[in-house]
Structures are given as structure tokens and as C-alpha cells.
Structure 1
Amino acid sequence: MIVESSGCDHLFGGEVALLDDIRSRLGRAGITVRAGLADTPAAAWALARFGGDDPAGRIAPPGGAMVKLAPLPVTALRLEPETVEGLMRLGVKRIGELYRMPRQNLSRRFGTEALRRLDKALGRSGDPISPMLPSPEFRVRLDFGEPIGKPEDIALAAGRLIERLARWLAQERRGADRLDLAAYLADGGVSVLSVRCARAMRDAAHWERLFAEKLEGLDPGFGIDALILAAPRTAPLAAVEPRLDRQRVSPDQITRLVDRLRNRLGPDSVAVLKPADSHIPERAETRALPDAALRVESWPRIALRPPRLLARPEPVEAVAETPDHPPRQFRWRRMTHRVAAAEGPERIAPEWWREMAAPEREAAATRDYFRVECAEGRGFWLYREGLYGADGAAPRWFMHGLF
């Protein structure tokens, strides 16, 4: 068992006291343990098993894993028996002796596994901890007498599980926004397929359509012994939800298209825009996952703006009358445009009350936005940054969006 205890030892009176408390608690439950403490899981594992009988000897202080591991046998690195035997034949018995060996020679003789284990123990490479999560409350299972492998059999079995789970959720008046289908393979492996929904629902037919695209890429290998369908997150399911035209409809009707797009393009490929508390155009809206897409947002009433802005304003060369007139013509992306009509300016001042970093504060300036239509009929949204005569520098023009 691995426990992440960073920053907790002072609550127990130190690292030794922390390990004593863990051992005593588990001992009262009838469990005998040997505990080790280090910067990395691999080093803690090695110290717990090979660090001696003194509890203090099984603790590596911060940054001290290299010293603590040096006298331990190479077996503490969890190497393959063949690798350990080969090191023994070379006279390498302790982990510290590996420190002095050239990495290239070690890799040539024993492959990359020995170096990888050593680097994990010393913290030179990542060794993430996979937490043991509680089993979902809503999960259904289907076991097979003989392994199945035909696509139609797998789809039929998955459909039965989906129907069972949908009925269960309906009885509890709940919905799920994510489903995980785990296929336990005959060779001991596990393949997990997941589908996500924009909001909690329990539409079995919709779930089957989402899983149909995922099941096409499932490799059953020598067959599937069992399927488990779980809903890791559930929520009370609302009966109705306002549609875009404000009529009262089933909530599932609005989310089906979003779910199919996210399932096919990726969970982060479909997003919605939500208003943000700022009048600066590039900060006035944020991208959000469509989980809350059905909630009606209150957008502020502002002047007409492009539905989508450029990733960042692009400089343009503009000819305009001073001080507050729109441009008569401008050059953008190596093309010159003559302005036929214009509206504005819409003045937007910097948010002086907001804390900004020095570069952002220096770049902040008053903007005058203009909606212009060129002779060829295209609409643009430009702004003039800075005021004439304010600081001696001539204002600059930028393109911010297209109509």
C-alpha cells in the first residue's frame, strides 16, 4: 500500500511518530506492516522491505534517498531475476555500486529496465501513484460461460447492460453524464471504453449509439469473459429543461448532438461560450465544456460585435483623420481595403481596478473600436489603441474581428 503523506508528518510529531501511528492503527486491526518513508514510492518500497528493523532506518530525509538506498541490495529495485543474477555475477550487490557504473554500459548489458528502476527510486523520472478509487454505486455486470469475440455479440451484451443500468437509474430518479464499459479479456487484460454526455441522462438508445462508435475499435483478443458497465458520476435528473426557443422539452433532446460530436471528436473539441465579468472584448467571454450548455446565460447588452474574435489582435496600417474619425483605408495581411461605411467609435478604457502584471499593465491603453464595411462588402472590427496627444506616441491600429 502506498500513501501520499507530504506535509502531514508534523501533525503526528514527526516522521517516526507518523510511521508508529500507522503501524499501531493497522496492528489493532490485526495487520502487521513494515513501513518506509521517502521522496519516491520506489525508494519507500525498498526501505520498507530492506531498510532493517529500526523504524528510523527506514526513513529517507528529503533529498536523502541516494544515501539511504546505497547500502541496500540491488533486489530492492524490483529488478527481474535475470538482471539481478547478471549483476551478481559482475560483483554488483548493492544499489550504491550502480551509481559508479557508466549508464551506457549498464544499459548495453541489462537493457533500459535497470536504469528506469534506478531513476524512479532516486526521483530522476516520474513515478505517479494510481489511487484506489471506490467502486461506483451504479454498476452492472454480465459474465459469459464462454468468451465472446464477435462484434455483434459484444454489441448485444453491451446493449443489455445499458438497458439494465438505465432502468436502475430511472428507479432512483438519477442520470449519468459518463459511462465506463470494462471488457475483461480472456488473456487477463482489461479494455475500458468511456462515453461522456453533456449533462446527466438515462436514455438507453442514445447511450447505445455513443458506444457503437467506441465498440468498433475494441480488440477482444482471445475473447471477453465479462463486461462491467459503471456510472462513476450520477446526479438527480431534472424532468424538463428550457429549449433554445424557451419551450419546455425533455433535457435529452438538446444534448444528443453535443454528445455525439464530443464522442467522435474528443471531449475537449466541443465547447460553449459563456459571458465573463469583463468589458475588455478578449476577456468578456470564456470557453467552457458543454456540461452546462443548457443553462441560459445572461449576456450583457453591448454594441454589435463579431461573433468570434481573432486569437489576438493583429496590427494594421490605417489612414484616418484625427482625432476620432474612422479609417478611410487600411492595409491588413498585405491587402489594402478602402472603407465605404463606418460606425463608431466605441471607447473601451483599461480596467484600472484589476491587478495586472507589469507587461500587461504597460500594454493597457484606451481603445476606440470601429465597425467598418469595405468597398468589396466585407465587414471588419478595428480599434485604435491610445489617444492622440496623450503621451506623445502616435496611436496604433489593430484588427480584432470579422463580421
Structure 2
Amino acid sequence: VGGGARIAPPGQAYGALAPLPIAALRLDDQTVAQLNRLGLRRIGDLLGQPRASLARRFGRGLVLRLDQAMGSAPEPVSPARPPHHFAVRMTLPNPIGLAEDVMAAIDRMLPTLCARLEEKARGARTLRLEAHRTDQAAEIIEIGLARPSHDKHRIRPLLEMKIDQIDAGYGIDMLRLAAVQTEPVHARTLTGHAEASRAVRNRLEGNTALDDLIGKLGARVGLEAITRQHPAASHIPEKTAQTLAAAWSEPARDWPVPPRPRPLLMWRPEPVMAPDHPDVPTSFRWRGRDWQLAQATGPERIAPEWWLDDPNWRSGVRDYWVVVTEQGERLWLFYGHGGTMSAGWFCQGRFG
């Protein structure tokens, strides 16, 4: 028996239970505390007490627990309900090998599978199509959805995109379609003011279109490769966003406005060859080119997170500048005042 449990041999239940604490009988905390105050701390201490006095002082519940532990009273156990299982199969009278024939079979199986999902108010997140061949081999494809769904019109295009990955060999004589991973789905009812309901409906339809796009892209490159940004609680520029899988996250809303404009493109700080002082250089060298200053806005001082030892911020406090060069570039430069590293100028991004 797993989990550290053990079964007492016949006739040895007393010896197995006697050294265990009273709490092992699953009594309420108040009863356990009362028994402990009387010096009754082990199950063996209770087994030697008169049953009538125990029942009179602590109720029939204590005596029942003792009898159940000793096996003299039944303790019905309700088995765990099996998880939801959604799958359909089709045995073909003659082997098939064309993609059109496979899709025709899917068109007959998919509505049945979706109806079963809808009946249980669940939607598929991952589906598996098994194509069993006449040579006893099986071809398997899987698709994932950005949102759980039991809508056949959203699932079918994803299956059709991956049908060409099936090698029919000498023919397919059985197909099985299963919802491997499902989640609860709830019907959305729009009530209230007509304009408000219309706005909500448009937003939901927009989300559905985006989910369908994510699902189609995921069928090609994998859902894990499609990500979206969410705001994160940090004043460090490169930590103000976190990357999440688009299929398992909601679109971010109400992004906090930064205190100063942030560049559209941001990268790890790159060294800039310029005089080693905090004044904005009139000329500098970056990425193998010489640049001349036309305009500069700043500084914006940002301090590192003192409670973290971030290797990227060992240069200490930074003064950020929005620098416009005579060549037309709008760059994000900062001067690191030096912490455990040498001071100097760096470029971390580009605007536009």
C-alpha cells in the first residue's frame, strides 16, 4: 500500500493501533484536547476504558470511531468518480488513404464528440486523432486550442491543417478522435442595455477570432511558441513585462503608464564609447559607428532593486537619456554610475 500505509495482519489490529495518537481516529479538535487533558493520548489508552463511560462523557462518535478502527463497525467508502472521458471511434469497412476520406470520417465523428462535451458543459483544449492502419501501425496527430471549446466549426479547421502529417501506408481501417484535455465552459448570456450588450458581444467575438488565430498558428509552430506580454510590478525597465503563453492567459488590459516614454525596441545594455562622465556626450561610438548628438532629453534616474543581486544592474544607479542623433536615430542611452562595476555609457533601446 502506497503513501506509508500498512495493513495489520488478522488478530493484530490492537497492537498496530495502540501506539498511535488519538488524533489518528479523526476526532474533532475539542474532543482530542479533552482526552489529552485526562491523560488519554494514545489509542491504546482508550481501548482499555469502559465503553459506557466513554460514550456518556464524549458521545457515541468516539465509540463509533474506535469500533471502525478495530473493524467491528462498518465504514462505507464512496469511490472516487472516474474522470470525464470523451472519445469516439469509427471502424471503416474498407481501408482509406486519401485526406478527403479522412476528413469525411472526421465530419461524422466530430459532431458526436462535441455534443458529448456540450452535454457535460466542457470544452476541449487538446484533441488527439488516431489513424490505425491495416499493418497494425498507428498515426497520431494532436491539436491544441487557445480556449476550451465544443464548437465543431472551430475544431475542424485545426484538424484539417494537420491531416497531411498522416501516413496512410496500405490504408486506414479505424479512426479514433479523443478529447485528451478538457476544461469547464460556461454559456455567456448578454443582458442589459442594448449598446452595452453589443459592445460586450463585439469584444467576445474579437476574442474568439484571436483564439482561432492562436489555434491555427499553434497547429503549425506549437502553442508554447505563441506568447503575449503582461505587465509586471517592477520599476526596472526590462522587468516591467512578463512573457506568458497566449493560449493559457488572457489579453492584458490597463497597462500602467511609465513615468517616461519607453523605447519600442529594448535589448541588453550595449557599451557606448564616450567620455566617462555623466554629461551627455556630443559624439559617441556605438555598434562600430560614430554618432553626433542633435538633441537630448533627461535624465531619468533609476536605481537597482537593492533587495536583489541582479548581475545586469551591478553598474549601480543609472541616468537614462532620450538621445536624438544627427543621423536621425532616437536612442535610449544611460550612464551607469558604477556599483561593483566600472562607470560608463550604454545603449539599451531605440525609439521607432
TM-score, structure 1 normalization? 0.59
Identity within the alignment, %: 33
- Residue 249 of structure 1 aligns with an amino acid whose one-letter code is L
- Residue 305 of structure 2 aligns with an amino acid whose one-letter code is E
Name the CA distance, whole Å, in 2 between partners of 1:384 and 1:191.
59
Q: 1:174 aligns with which of 112, 115, 122?
A: 122
Answering whether residue 311 of structure 2 is matched by residue 368 of structure 1, we say: no
Change (3 A) 1:273 1:361: closer
Name the CA distance, whole Å, in 2 between partners of 1:362 and 1:283.
12
Name the CA distance, whole Å, in 1 between partners of 2:122 and 2:265.
37
Aligned to 1:315: 271
Aligned to 1:102: none
Larger Rg, first or second structure (1 or 2): 2
Given that residues 326 and 345 in structure 1 are in contact (C-alpha distance below 8 angstroms), is that contact kept between their aligned partners in structure 2? Answer: no
Deviation readout 1:113-137 (Å, 9 max, x if unpaired): xxxxxxxxxxxxxxxxxxxxx9861
Task: Map 1:9-158 to 2 at 5 A.
Answer: 11=4, 137-158=85-106
Q: 1:350 aligns with which of 304, 307, 322?
A: 304
Q: 1:290 aligns with which of 224, 246, 251?
A: 246
User: Displacement of 1:205 after TM fit?
Assistant: 2.3
Alignment length (residue pairs): 268
Secondary structure class of the residue paired with 1:256: helix
Answering whether residue 335 of structure 2 is matched by residue 378 of structure 1, we say: no
Aligned to 2:218: 262
Aligned to 1:275: 231
Name the CA distance, whole Å, in 1 between partners of 2:337 and 2:317.
5
Higher RCO structure (Cα 8 Å, ≥6 apart):
2
Name the CA distance, whole Å, in 1 between partners of 2:257 and 2:324.
23
Name the CA distance, whole Å, in 1 between partners of 2:173 and 2:83.
20
User: Displacement of 1:219 after TM fit?
Assistant: 0.2
TM-score, structure 2 normalization? 0.67
Change (3 A) 1:315 1:218: same
* Segments of 4+ moved more than 3 angstroms: 238-242, 245-248, 292-298
User: Displacement of 1:343 after TM fit?
Assistant: 1.9
User: Displacement of 1:271 after TM fit?
Assistant: 0.8
Deviation readout 1:155-181 (Å, 9 max, x if unpaired): 111232222222322333322222111
Given that residues 136 and 232 in structure 1 are in contact (C-alpha distance below 8 angstroms), is that contact kept between their aligned partners in structure 2? Answer: no
What is the Cα-based RMSD across aligned positions, in Å? Answer: 3.2
Aligned to 2:107: 159
User: Displacement of 1:351 after TM fit?
Assistant: 0.7
User: Displacement of 1:215 after TM fit?
Assistant: 0.5
Gaps of 5+ in 2: 10-81, 191-195
Given that residues 134 and 171 in structure 2 are in contact (C-alpha distance below 8 angstroms), is that contact kept between their aligned partners in structure 1? Answer: yes
Gaps of 5+ in 1: 22-133
User: Displacement of 1:201 after TM fit?
Assistant: 2.1
Secondary structure class of the residue paired with 1:197: strand
